[in-house]
Homo-oligomer: A and B are copies of this chain.
């Protein structure tokens, strides 16, 4: 039949065969390792990526010759062997070689039931995966002779030809079908979603069948020695007598436990030797493969065979526990343990998660803006959120979008969702800072506050008080409560973080505005505060009133008098932060937002304010209007405010200095860092510095106590980056605020970008959302320019980034390459950032040792 048959390119898996994961796939390589460990692996042959690709292209090899390797009238299985276990692949197919003749022979040797089961399994698999027939044609049935006949008839009916009887053709069809499936669009997209390159190769394994059915103790099972979810050591898996493949897991009925178990019969009860043998194999895998493996085994007439072994699938928590355990036992190096954990996975450990095994009733989908999950009652405003929190009822705050006035509501809520906004909208940034789950940009939901109803695209009408669950990790909104997994800050996590800290060669600080943030930051191992935004401090009710009086004061001396009332509060804020962070640097950004953020926009708000200030409504209205701006992002804020109304910075600097003196009394001396925001010209820094230096001198003189401080600049305008050489003359540090820098470099407001960013990324206009992944080409170039010019003019300058990008592996790689001293990110991103930084440092070291270790140097290869 195979007229054009050519010799197929294959390699039998033996101890010494030339098998490589990047040519034959991970499964092939793993099997070779099992062979080398003397595990009883059936005879297996590996087809290379190249051979499989040629199959897909139409090459017709001599499969009969291949089959002949397995003896006379053999049965074989075919399994995919992709470069990475996680990238998936086509389903394995068993019992190739079964035909009427072989069936008749097996009826004799193994009994009719076993023979029927083997043939039926093959017919079904071939029909579904090779002939692409409808799976529903094959109802699960007892393997009777009738069922077998029905299956063969169904096949012939649908395909207009009898079920193929020639084993060579069977094998060819199976191989070709699997090869083509791998190169199809669906499989390609699926594996790309898992991080595989589009052109990843596929190897295949042809293995002698161990039947698992027939006389004597026969069956198949799966065993693993750790719990993938918790990472705890315990044997799990199942064994099913008279079965093949993964039937023990999928069928369950009649399946046995493995180790002795009070819940029922175990394989150990029947065949204690087999379990002892499997334990030895598991231990051998652990030591030799340096990994927790799940072993697929089959027993045939009492004899144990190992068909395959896979890395135990695991949750983030399981992954951390397993890696740390292997390192603790000296099986792997700590460096390896660090590199085995996906940094993103760590953030799952810090928050509650929706249990992936439970049911989900998704009613809306948005952008996953802050990870973790929470269940609570819906509230539509900050006041309701605070009231709910006061009653001890967890609540989820829903807003069209949040503004600084919502901060207190966000503090009170266990989760936040908004109709508008993107990854770096106000809600997203604040929620990440607070570690509160948050979903933004839920465009298929409409909030009608007036009628007190939230309507989803699916037609759900939710009212205030209804219970929902917010999954900030997936971006889903779920109806009602669901089963949760609690955060996993266990010993293993802390050990991993300790090791990461040792491996890191770039600092990781936290953006922390409140004592609670600072405590979280310390707990997660932040090496200081890289950005303390002070404006949130002014939104508390008593302070807001003072802010209003300050804004309505006309003369500098009046403003100063009003601000003097804020001084003790600010001093207490800073003192508390310094005490929590004692011994570590704290970088305080001076007041940044435009003043109109503190003013009411609504008619009633203006009326209330007029009452409080004892002014006429039109006068209040006029001031509110006068302060309103076309483009607040590009307006009167940051250092511009600091220069125009210097009393604000004066008060803040004094509060910082007095808090420094007080906090230094009871511990290490505190050296605060003061950061000037929104600088675009050197002279701005010079003016502020002059004023702050003289304030420091005044405080020193008044208190008779000396202290140090460092003054620096937040580089967030393109001009500040370009002029870093000038600016650094008055700045001990430059901290790049990548949020605003991205906004200005792109000319794109993060608050307004949400409306089209999704479609922009989908169309590939932007490769990534630049507010999410640092734009290395544009914004990154400004960072490099700023860093170079800053360092050239002042070699000892401290360089850092403190935007939302701070915690991303990509940004950390960028900052390491550019020689930055540290990155700063929200407290809940600190562990992620430290792990990513450690991995980058280790990968660099590996590259260097590879280069100097006699291997071919990298440069020569590229």
Spell out A's residues near B (CB within 8 Å): 629-636, 640, 643-644, 678, 680-681, 683-684, 687, 716-719, 722-723, 740, 743-749, 751-753, 755-756, 759-760, 763-766, 775, 777-779, 781-782
Residues of B within 8 A of A746 (CB): 634, 680, 717, 719
The verdict on A723 contacting B777 (CB below 8 Å), with A716-B747, A765-B684 known, is yes
- Least CB distance, A728 to chain B, in whole angstroms: 15
A644: which B residues are within 8 A, CB to CB? 756, 759
Measured between alpha carbons, how far is A680 from B777 in the docked complex, in Å? 11
Which residues of B are found within 8 Å of A777, using beta-carbon distances? 722-723
List B contacts of A722 (CB < 8 A).
745, 777-778, 781-782
7 A-B pairs whose Cβ atoms sit less than 8 Å apart in the complex: A630-B633, A631-B632, A634-B749, A644-B759, A683-B765, A687-B765, A716-B747
Residues of B within 8 A of A752 (CB): 629-632, 634-636
Of B634, B684, B687, B755, the contact of A743 (CB 8 Å cutoff): B634
Q: A636, A683, A719, A760 — which one has the most chain B CB atoms within 10 A of its CB?
A: A719
Q: Given the complex of chains A and B, what is the CA–CA distance between A719 and B643 in angstroms?
A: 29
Neighbouring B residues of A775 by C-beta, 8 Å: 719
* Contact between A630 and B749, CB atoms less than 8 A apart: yes
B765, A634: Cβ atoms under 8 Å?
Answer: no
Contact: B756 with A640, CB < 8 Å? yes
Q: Which 4 A-B pairs have the closest CB atoms?
A: A634-B749, A631-B749, A719-B778, A717-B747
Known pairs A718-B744, A756-B636; A764 contacts B683 (CB<8 A): yes
Tell me the bound Cα distance from A514 to B683 in angstroms: 42
Chain B residue contacts of A680, Cβ below 8 A: 745-748, 778
Taking the nearest CB of chain B, how far is it from the CB of A341, in angstroms?
34
Give, as a whole number of angstroms, the nearest-CB distance from A553 to chain B. Answer: 17
Interchain CB contact under 8 A, B744 and A747: yes
A49 to B290, CA, bound (A): 90
Closest CB in chain B relative to A745 CB, distance in Å: 5
Asked if B751 contacts A631 (CB within 8 A), the reply is yes
Q: For residue A630, which residue of chain B has the nearest CB? A: B751
Contact B643 A760 (CB under 8 A): yes
Contact B630 A630 (CB under 8 A): no
| Contact status A778-B723, CB under 8 Å | yes
Q: With CB as the reference atom, state the residue of chain B lying closest to A748.
A: B634
Q: Which residues of B contact A745 (CB under 8 A)?
A: 680, 717-719, 722, 744
Q: A718-B745, A719-B779 are in contact. List 14 more A-B contacts (CB 8 A).
A: A630-B633, A631-B634, A631-B749, A634-B748, A635-B752, A635-B753, A643-B756, A717-B745, A717-B748, A719-B746, A719-B747, A722-B777, A722-B781, A740-B747
A719-B745, A719-B779, A722-B778 known; A766-B681 Cβ under 8 A: yes
Chain B residues near A717 (CB-CB < 8 A): 745-748
Q: How far is the CA of A321 from the CA of B777 in the complex (A)?
A: 55
Contact residues in B for A747 (Cβ distance below 8 Å): 633-634, 678, 680, 716-719, 740, 744
Give every chain B residue within 8 A of A779 (Cβ-Cβ): 719
Alpha-carbon distance A752/B636, docked complex (angstroms):
7
Bound CA span A782–B753, Å? 24
- Residues of B contacting A781 with CB < 8 Å? 722
Nearest Cβ distance between residue A754 and chain B, in whole angstroms? 10
B-side contacts of A763, CB under 8 Å: 643, 687
Residues on the B chain within 8 Å of A782, using CB: 718, 722
The residues of B that contact A630 with a CB separation of less than 8 Å are 632-633, 749, 751-752
Could you say which residues of chain B place their CB within 8 Å of the CB of A684?
765
Complex formed: what's the CA distance from A92 to B760 in Å? 74
Residues of B near A643 (CB, < 8 A) are 756, 760, 763, 765
- Cβ–Cβ < 8 Å partners of A765 in chain B: 643, 681, 683-684, 687
Smallest CB-CB separation from A756: which chain B residue? B644
- Are B632 and A633 in touch, CB under 8 angstroms? no
> What residues of B have a CB within 8 angstroms of the CB of A740 in the complex?
747
Q: In this complex, which of A635, A643, A752, A778 has the most chain B Cβ atoms within 10 angstroms of its Cβ?
A: A752
The residue on B at minimum CB distance from A680 is: B746
Q: Return chain B residues, CB-CB under 8 Å to A723.
A: 777-778
- For the complex, what is the distance from the CA of A744 to the CA of B631, rounded to whole Å? 11
Docked pose: A640 CA to B722 CA in angstroms: 27
Q: How far is the CA of A722 from the CA of B784 in the complex (A)?
A: 12
Chain B, Cβ-Cβ closest to A752: B635
Q: Do residues A634 and B636 form an inter-chain contact, with CB atoms below 8 A?
A: no
Q: Which residue of B lies closest to A742 (CB)?
A: B719
Chain B residues within an 8 Å CB radius of A753:
635
Q: In the bound complex, how far is the Cα of B770 from the Cα of A723, in angstroms?
A: 15
- Most chain B beta-carbon contacts within 10 A, residue among A684, A716, A748, A764: A748
A625 to chain B, nearest CB (A): 9
Task: State in angstroms the CA–CA spacing of A745 and B721 once bound together.
Answer: 9
Q: How far is the CB of A621 from chain B (nearest CB, A)?
A: 11
A719 to B749, CA, bound (A): 14
Contacts of A766 in B (CB 8 A): 681, 683
Q: How far is the CA of A722 from the CA of B783 in the complex (A)?
A: 12
Please report the C-alpha to C-alpha distance between residue A678 and residue B746 in the assembled complex, in whole angstroms: 9
Q: When chains A and B are docked, how far (Å) is the Cα of A687 from the Cα of B760?
A: 11
Q: Which chain B residues lie closer than 8 Å to A755 at the CB level?
A: 636
Closest chain B CB from A633 CB (angstroms): 4
- Most B C-beta atoms less than 10 A away, residue of A718, A743, A747: A747
Instruction: Give, as a whole number of angstroms, the nearest-CB distance from A818 to chain B.
Output: 16
In the docked arrangement, what's the CA distance between A749 and B719, Å? 14
Residue among A631, A684, A775 with the most chain B CB within 10 A?
Answer: A631
How far is A634 from B687 in the complex, measured between Cα atoms in Å? 29
> Would you give the shortest CB distance from A724 to chain B, in whole angstroms?
11
A619 to chain B, nearest CB (A): 12
Tell me the minimal C-beta distance from A512 to chain B in angstroms: 25
Instruction: List B contacts of A751 (CB < 8 A).
Output: 629-631
A222 to B698, CA, bound (A): 64
Least CB distance from A729 to B in Å reads 14
Distance (Å) between the CB of A634 and the closest chain B CB?
A: 4
CB distance from A740 to the nearest CB of B (A): 7
In the complex, what residues of B have CB within 8 A of residue A756's CB?
A: 636, 640, 643-644
A633 cross-chain contacts in B, Cβ below 8 A: 630-631, 634, 747, 749
Residue of B nearest to A640 (CB): B756
CA distance A239 to B678 in the complex (A): 65
**Whole-angstrom distance between the Cβ of A577 and the nearest chain B Cβ:** 28
Q: Which residues of B contact A760 (CB under 8 A)?
A: 640, 643
Q: Measured between alpha carbons, how far is A680 from B760 in the docked complex, in Å? A: 12
A746 and B763 alpha carbons, distance in the complex (Å): 30
Cα distance A717–B747 in the bound complex, in angstroms: 6
A419 to B851, CA, bound (A): 68
Give min CB distance, A641 to chain B, whole Å: 9
A782 to B722, CA, bound (A): 9
Chain B: minimal CB distance from A390 (Å): 31
> Which residue of B has the minimal Cβ distance to A717?
B747
Chain B's nearest CB lies how many Å from the CB of A192? 20
Residue numbers in B under 8 Å from A759 (CB-CB): 644
